[in-house]
Chains A and B, each alone.
Chain A
Amino acid sequence: MIAGISAADLALLVGGLLAFLLAATGIGRMLQLRYSPDGSNAVVENLNDRIRSWWIMVVLMGIALMGGQAGITLLFAFCSFAALREVMTLQDIRRSDHWALLAAFFVALPAQYYLIYTEWYGLYSILIPVYAFLLIPIIAVLRGDTEGFLMRVAGVQWALMICVYCTSHVPALLSLDIPGYEGRNVLLIAFLILVVQTSDVAQYVWGKLLGRTRIAPNVSPSKTLEGLIGGALSAILIGVALSWITPFTPWQAGLLSFVIVMLGFLGGLVMSAIKRDRGVKDWGHLIAGHGGMTDRMDSVIFAAPVFFHLVRYGWSVT
């Protein structure tokens, strides 16, 4: 039980994901036969690329789950690393930022995840907002380059908060101590990720089917009100349906899903605004069909800390 996962829960999770992916792959194949036999329909090809990437992501998540708490923490540490690499690539970095960035990648990131692993809530909650916040500009100023100083240190701090601090609240869910829910915390991660990703996928599908009214034409032209409402309702429905794997009642699961969906949506908008400002479409090319790690994670990033704290205050005794 050190792993925080029981065999029955593991089988349930893996079985459920496999069934879902098999269904998605079958549908993708049918669409391809029907609409894109020669590979010419970009939407269908992108959908199949995404499904193939989902297989890889699910297999990686499966391997991490077998590694228990250490495996899951390592997996998200790697996600943070890849996301931070993407976000820093798009910033204006000067040679004099070299040490500050080394500190961000090779000190702050591993330290944060080590503290998450040892469940030291008091320190991991402030490591980046306080200590990295003070130390990174100190390291930067020692190189003596003042040009664009505030922008540069703010950029590093922001990237650390988004890619490392917020993301690390996903594996932090394993450390919560909820009476009557011992050893099942990994299902909280599953709940969070399933609701967020359902919302992303459903917004995309509803947007393609019914999308008319653009919500933020200047930031993300593909986001529509119809997509948002359809996606949010679908995700809340999934959240309520999943309440039996959580410590929440169906009502509570629905409300938490609503919070997750809205933060995920707004987080996606924020990240789009940055991409648009930097003149790129995707953060990277790590995941075929999806773009970069940050493109896949943006909604999770914004939802994770809030979900963590709501559950911690409402249900946990730690």
Chain B
Amino acid sequence: MTRILPEIAATALVIFSRFITAARAIWLGCAPENRRRVYFANHTSNGDFVLVWAVLPHRLRQMTRPVAASDYWLKSRLRAFIGQQVFRAVLINRIPAERTEDPVMQMAQALDAGDSLILFPEGRRNTGEDLLLPFKSGLYHLARMRPEVDLVPVWIENLNRVLPKGEVIPIPLICTVTFGAALHLAGGETKDAFLGRAAAALRALAATTERPRA
């Protein structure tokens, strides 16, 4: 009974995001399979995880949780409802001094419970000209803690134009979500080497998307 309202809200969000973006999944390096995965994606817009979520098949969507900032998602009751009930987000505290739980441990526990995660390793929205901001170290620590989990790079194309930072109403433009081949931490790989490899995988996906010439 308590899941009915969140289910309706989730379906409404998916339909709305499809109406605006005609979102399309491109499975380049892996298939939409029921495996424990960490989808790590570029982050330019508040709609990012709704879009990744919307293109996942319904069964996978029910088992995939975004990792999000608690300071944003606990600010109002509506946000808390959407964040906790609709998206079932793993809420982590971005301010180390206030933390009571280790964010990487929180993510590992969600994986242990059988769910997949959507993670934005840049840590905040990218509004600059560069394709990606430097990755935070969370992805590396998670890869070390749960080495068997697939780390799937996901490139979200165009959503930054649909809903730029500071705008409220999205404009309808077509978006694609491209899924690459899964990564794993190699034996003896350093943090910098691994994060560099993960960012390179994301950049390589970005290069495959059909984008108009500027």
Contact at B171–A102, with CB atoms within 8 Å? yes
Give B156-184 as 1s and 0s: 1 = Cβ < 8 Å from A's Cβ atoms.
Answer: 00100100100101011110000000000
Contact at B171–A101, with CB atoms within 8 Å? yes
Q: Please tell me which one of the listed residues B164, B169, B214 contacts residue A92 in the complex, with CB atoms under 8 A apart.
A: B214
Q: Which residues of B contact A89 (CB under 8 A)?
A: 158, 173-174, 212
Contact at A284–B169, with CB atoms within 8 Å? no
Q: Is the C-beta of B101 less than 8 angstroms from some C-beta in chain A?
A: no
Contact at A279–B212, with CB atoms within 8 Å? yes
- A60 CB, min distance to chain B CBs, angstroms: 16
Q: Please tell me which one of the listed residues A85, A278, A285 contacts residue B173 in the complex, with CB atoms under 8 A apart.
A: A85
Contact at B210–A280, with CB atoms within 8 Å? yes
Q: Which residues of B contact A98 (CB under 8 A)?
A: 164, 167, 171
Q: Is the C-beta of B15 less than 8 angstroms from some C-beta in chain A?
A: no
Q: Is the C-beta of A225 less than 8 angstroms from some C-beta in chain B?
A: no
Contact at A85–B174, with CB atoms within 8 Å? yes
Q: Is the C-beta of A88 less than 8 angstroms from some C-beta in chain B?
A: yes
Identify the interface centre among B22, B167, B213, B214: most chain A CB within 10 Å of its CB.
B22
Q: Is the C-beta of A84 less than 8 angstroms from some C-beta in chain B?
A: yes
Measured CA separation A88–B158 after assembly (Å): 12
Q: Is the C-beta of B24 less than 8 angstroms from some C-beta in chain A?
A: yes
Q: Is the C-beta of A14 less than 8 angstroms from some C-beta in chain B?
A: no
- B154 CB, min distance to chain A CBs, angstroms: 18
Contact at A286–B22, with CB atoms within 8 Å? yes
Report if A95-B213 is in contact (Cβ < 8 Å); known contacts: A85-B173, A102-B171, A105-B172: no
Measured CA separation A84–B171 after assembly (Å): 11
- B175 CB, min distance to chain A CBs, angstroms: 9
Measured CA separation A88–B169 after assembly (Å): 16
Q: Which residues of A contact B214 (CB under 8 A)?
A: 92
Q: Is the C-beta of A82 less than 8 angstroms from some C-beta in chain B?
A: yes
Q: Is the C-beta of A265 less than 8 angstroms from some C-beta in chain B?
A: no
Q: Which residues of B contact A90 (CB under 8 A)?
A: 212
Measured CA separation A84–B173 after assembly (Å): 9
Contact at B169–A285, with CB atoms within 8 Å? no
| Dominant SS among interface residues on chain A | helix
Size category of the A interface is 20 to 34
Chain B contributes a number of interface residues (CB within 8 A of A) equal to 15
Q: Which B residues between 135 and 158 are near A, CB-CB below 8 angstroms? A: 158
Closest partner residue, chain B, to A101 (CB atom): B171
Q: Which residues of B contact A102 (CB under 8 A)?
A: 169, 171
Q: Is the C-beta of A91 less than 8 angstroms from some C-beta in chain B?
A: yes
Q: Which A residues between 49 and 95 are near B, CB-CB below 8 angstroms? A: 81-82, 84-86, 88-93, 95
Measured CA separation A105–B173 after assembly (Å): 10
Contact at B212–A91, with CB atoms within 8 Å? yes
Measured CA separation A91–B171 after assembly (Å): 13
- A262 CB, min distance to chain B CBs, angstroms: 29
- A30 CB, min distance to chain B CBs, angstroms: 32
Contact at B173–A93, with CB atoms within 8 Å? yes
Report if A84-B164 is in contact (Cβ < 8 Å); known contacts: A278-B213, A286-B22: no
Measured CA separation A145–B88 after assembly (Å): 40
Give A254-292 as 1s and 0s: 1 = Cβ < 8 Å from B's Cβ atoms.
Answer: 000000000000000000000001111000111000000
- B158 CB, min distance to chain A CBs, angstroms: 7
Q: Please tell me which one of the listed residues B161, B174, B213 contacts residue A86 in the complex, with CB atoms under 8 A apart.
A: B174
Q: Which residues of B contact A95 (CB under 8 A)?
A: 164, 167
Q: Which residues of B contact A82 (CB under 8 A)?
A: 22
Measured CA separation A85–B24 after assembly (Å): 14
Q: Which residues of A contact B171 (CB under 8 A)?
A: 88, 98, 101-102, 105
Q: Which residues of B contact A101 (CB under 8 A)?
A: 171
Contact at A81–B164, with CB atoms within 8 Å? no
Closest partner residue, chain B, to A109 (CB atom): B172
- B56 CB, min distance to chain A CBs, angstroms: 18
Measured CA separation A92–B167 after assembly (Å): 18
Identify the interface centre among B158, B167, B174: most chain A CB within 10 Å of its CB.
B174
Identify the interface centre among A84, A93, A98, A106: most chain B CB within 10 Å of its CB.
A98
Q: Which residues of A contact B213 (CB under 8 A)?
A: 277-279
Residues of A whose CB lies within 8 Å of any CB of B are 81-82, 84-86, 88-93, 95, 98, 101-102, 105-106, 277-280, 284-286
Given contacts A92-B214, A93-B173, A106-B169, 11 further A-B contacts (CB under 8 A): A85-B173, A85-B174, A88-B171, A88-B173, A89-B173, A89-B212, A98-B164, A102-B169, A278-B213, A284-B174, A286-B22
The contact sample of 19 A-B pairs, CB cut-off 8 A, is A81-B172, A85-B22, A85-B172, A85-B173, A86-B174, A88-B171, A88-B173, A89-B173, A95-B167, A98-B164, A98-B167, A98-B171, A102-B169, A106-B169, A277-B213, A278-B213, A280-B210, A285-B22, A286-B22
List of 5 A-B pairs having minimum Cβ-Cβ separation, nearest first: A278-B212, A85-B172, A89-B174, A101-B171, A95-B164
